[in-house]
Amino acid sequence: MSTVSETTHDSAVAMSAPAASDEGLTAAQRAQKYGLAQSGARPSLPEYVRQLWHRRHFISAFASAKLTAQYSQAKLGQVWQVATPLLNALVYYLIFGLLIGTRKGVPDFVPFLVTGVFIFTFTQSSVMAGTRAISGNLGLVRALHFPRACLPISFCLMQLQQLLFSMGVLVLILLGFGQMPTWSWFLVFPALLLQFVFNTGLAMVMARLGSKTPDLAQLMPFIMRTWMYASGVMFSIDLILKGKHVPQFVEVLLNANPAAVYIDLMRFALIDSFTASKLPPHVWAFAGGWALLMGVAGFVYFWKAEERYGRG
């Protein structure tokens, strides 16, 4: 063994002896001289955005591939895209509509409930998918080069596509319960766009946290369920709070809650009896503010650790 390593040293020096002018330069200096870049270094923020734009087709292809692959083993196949949200709504209706009487005082309870469930599920599954976006795809991260933000964005896009199927179901339910299409239905689009940006930002935050602490994926269901009950998905927050003495800050918090904001906007857009008077004050400002804040902050926070994804 010792003889081998001695020859190693000699031959190593002989082999990689740099040209005379390179002598005495450190590795970093030589790298600079020949214009080499550090491998796996984090690109600047504008460069990162440019790379991400360049990969936009990968992002969308990955999202729809995941979506199709999801039910491809099932006999009913893509029917489950529609059946899953429908069954989900049915379960919540049985429990909250029939067993526990939260429907009291809420007009058009079924559309109210189903809208809430679908919109919250969009945020919930984006966050869950984001948490696993890096830690669940280490094979991909360790095999190919692409801006890692492709993964959380792609998973959120997949959830958005999933939501569009749910919205189709929702339209049928709305029509079935006598809600006729009005101009206000077009508000669905800006509301969904803002929610998508918010979800993506949050998913990127969760992706970075989850890449460092994969245990988070086990903890998240509890946090998400707590958030769901605080967001008035299956009951009206206003009705619950009415006549009760709650501190001012709790009321402010409940009204500023981004999930509640997006759910209320969607109800306002789709349900006739959910009038503007039921919306919390400054609701569009909150919706836009949350999207902007979360989108930008989440993106920057994710980018800050770009070179570290893929370890452990």
| Contact between 75 and other proteins per CB under 8 A | no
- Among candidates 124, 65, 66, 134, which has minimal Cα distance to 303? 134
Site string for other proteins, 249-288 (x = CB under 8 A): ----------------------------------------
Which CB, 57 or 244, lies closer to other proteins?
A: 57
# of chain residues touching other proteins (CB under 8 A): 60
In whole angstroms, how close is the CB of 243 to other proteins at the nearest point?
Answer: 36
**Cα three-residue angle 230-233-237, rounded to 5 degrees:** 60
Site string for other proteins, 184-213 (x = CB under 8 A): -----------------------------x
State both tokens at 43: 């690109």
| Contact between 4 and other proteins per CB under 8 A | yes
- Buried (b) or exposed (e) across 24-46, using 16+ Cβ within 10 A? eeeeeeeeeeeeeeeeeeebeee
Radius of gyration of the chain (CA): 26
Which CB, 41 or 276, lies closer to other proteins?
A: 41
Site string for other proteins, 118-147 (x = CB under 8 A): -------------------x-xxxxxxxx-
Phi and psi torsions of 274, nearest 5°: -90, 85
Residue 51 CA to residue 42 CA, distance in Å, equals 12
Residue 164 CA to residue 170 CA, distance in Å, equals 9
Residue 243 CA to residue 166 CA, distance in Å, equals 35
With beta carbons less than 8 A apart as the criterion, state whether 280 and 261 touch. yes
Residue 108 Cα to chain centre, angstroms: 30
In whole angstroms, how close is the CB of 69 to other proteins at the nearest point?
Answer: 4
Which CB, 36 or 239, lies closer to other proteins?
A: 36
| Contact between 95 and other proteins per CB under 8 A | no
Among 105, 176, 181, 221, binds other proteins (CB under 8 A): 221
| Contact between 312 and other proteins per CB under 8 A | yes
**Beta carbons within 8 Å of 21's beta carbon, 6+ residues apart:** none
Positions that interact with other proteins (CB under 8 A): 1, 4-5, 7-8, 11-12, 14-16, 18-19, 26-28, 30-31, 34-41, 54-55, 57-58, 61-62, 65-66, 68-69, 72-73, 137, 139-146, 213-216, 218-219, 221-222, 307-312
